[in-house]
Amino acid sequence: MFQPVYGIHRIMGAETEYGVISPDAPDTNPTILSAIVVNTYEKLEAKRTESLRRTIENNAQEAQRTRWSTESESPLTDAFGHTVKEQEAHASQLTHTRRELTSEDIALEALREAGIDGSQELIHGRGGYPERLDWDRVTMNAMLANGARLYVDHAHPEYSSPEVLTPLQAVLYDAAGDKIAYDSITEVAQHSNDNLPAIKLYKNNTDSKGQSYGAHENYLISRDIPFEDVASTLLTFFATRIIYTGAGRVGIGVNGEIPGFQISSRADFFERPVGLETTIRRPIVNTRDEPHANSERYRRLHVIPADANLSHYSNLLKFGTATLVLNLIESGRAPNLHIADPVTALHTTSHDLLLSAQLPLTENSDSTTKFATALEIQRAYLNACKSHEQENPTGVDNDTQQILALWEETLDALETNPLALADRLDWVAKYALVSSYVAKGVPYTDAKLKALDIHYADIDPTRGLYHRLVARGRMRTLFTSQDIEDAARTPPSDTRAYLRGTLMSRWPDEIIGINWDTVSCRGRYSHELTRLAMPEPTRYTQSEVDPLLPRVTHSDELLQLLQQNTTPHKDL
């Protein structure tokens, strides 16, 4: 059953929910603010797209809007083969039943939250809500020119990156999401005369009032591997990797009620080892089985216990180490090392700034002791990955070696001098800033430290503390601002995201429905839909699409030519 898997090439991607607020109108419904962010960016992209602009300028007829299709979504199916009935599921799980919200929907939701009767004032823009935004055409889902998705999820704007093949690409396209989000709120600010409220977005995971929002990873793994094997290994790995992926947080506990600092901003919100939910009773290993690809071949691992990272290095370690550990699992080489209580271990590790807490192991673990620190556990995974990758008959490639070397260098520094990583890891950088105030006598309960925590996560490159550290050379980066801007406009060339991005750039007004693995188009002079299924994520790349572009003038023609192309997909 097990076949050796080597290297860091794997289909993966990131999802980020941004904290959202209007400083001038802090009571504004977050769903409205999130809708403004998504709607504004879609319009901003439309301005950059010649075909859509031509349609708008001609004004002969209203351009049809691209609709997000939910046909391949199955959020109630889990990896153990069970499907939760819709009537038994929490409302937050029913993502496949959502529709575009009308002005009345949005207004009524805000009214319900405020305990107010009637909707006319809000619908017509009074009561502090924007009157100049065309709420009858509000977009809650937008596919972007770089192959990503921007949408409203649980009252937050969420960016889902395009599929990529390497951890380094995953970091780049995740950073592109921050650029996209910032462009949107900048555009909103430029239209303040239209009564649009100024909006701030934060790449963090909690409002410190008991609410948490996610920063998720996604990896395609082999359907042949029993999910029990996946879960048992990842519980121990995820509970301890926060020592280099954590974003840091002022305050301990769900509400941050205990004074202090912790490594992970998200850890305190997890309550059980394994489960299907993502917003309630949060599990360390999520069992959602929704591959958005060939379901006979792939399983999508939906990872939810991660922190939102601004640091390129924290993010690279997050994607890179997870990819290498998945290689171990698929190859049957995962170490037999299991924490007895993963949830408690996750909390303990987050609160343990000295990285010395002894975590109880299960009796069947291959260990000479019954306890191990998070550092020791991560070192065991590193050594297992090094041994495995060195057995690759073709040798260890440079990209894989980069991850292994960075992992080892980081663990060495965490063991001897964690503050040496203040220029690479989010939690250490934030802790260094906080500690400088604490050393001067500022208590952890002081509002200044809470504000510092929030301002670190501000995505505004002119104001966010992370970005100020970068500007002053105190935080290392892997990409230039131009690299990130290019990724915000251009899809990756080696996955099906290239086709989606190309369609959105060239023919946005011809796309009727689109999602990760399906697209339906109608050419301007066509009566019938052309639908293309994309079950293999490594198909419909630049090498397959670009040679056909000189032969077509409309989207459906391109799809028809691609349907005729029987070139086999590329194995990873």
Q: Annotated catalytic sites, by residue? A: 153
Q: Which among 264, 239, 240 has a CA at the least distance from the CA of 250? A: 264
Distance from C-alpha of 248 to C-alpha of 259, rounded to nearest angstrom: 14
Vertex 192 angle, CA 187 and 197, to 5° = 90
| Length of the chain as a residue count | 572
Distance from C-alpha of 422 to C-alpha of 420, rounded to nearest angstrom: 6
Q: Please identify which residue in the block is written with the tokens 């190309």.
A: 502
Longest Cα–Cα distance in the chain: 76
128: left (phi over 0), alpha (psi -120 to 50) or beta: left
Q: Please identify which residue in the block is written with the tokens 């948490």.
A: 212
Pairing of strands 298-303, 215-222: antiparallel
Please tell me whether residue 28 adopts helix, strand or coil conformation.
coil
Distance, first Cα to last Cα, the chain: 18
**Residue 551 contacts by C-beta under 8 Å, 6 or more apart in sequence?**
557, 561
3-state DSSP helix/strand/coil % of the chain, to nearest 5 = 45, 15, 45
**Residue 279 contacts by C-beta under 8 Å, 6 or more apart in sequence?**
90, 92, 93, 154
Helices (H), 494-551: 497-506, 542-545
Vertex 99 angle, CA 127 and 52, to 5° = 85
Q: Which among 222, 180, 236 has a CA at the least distance from the CA of 203? A: 180
Q: Are 274 and 255 in contact (CB under 8 A)?
A: no
Q: Are 284 and 305 in contact (CB under 8 A)?
A: yes
Helices (H), 352-425: 374-389, 398-416
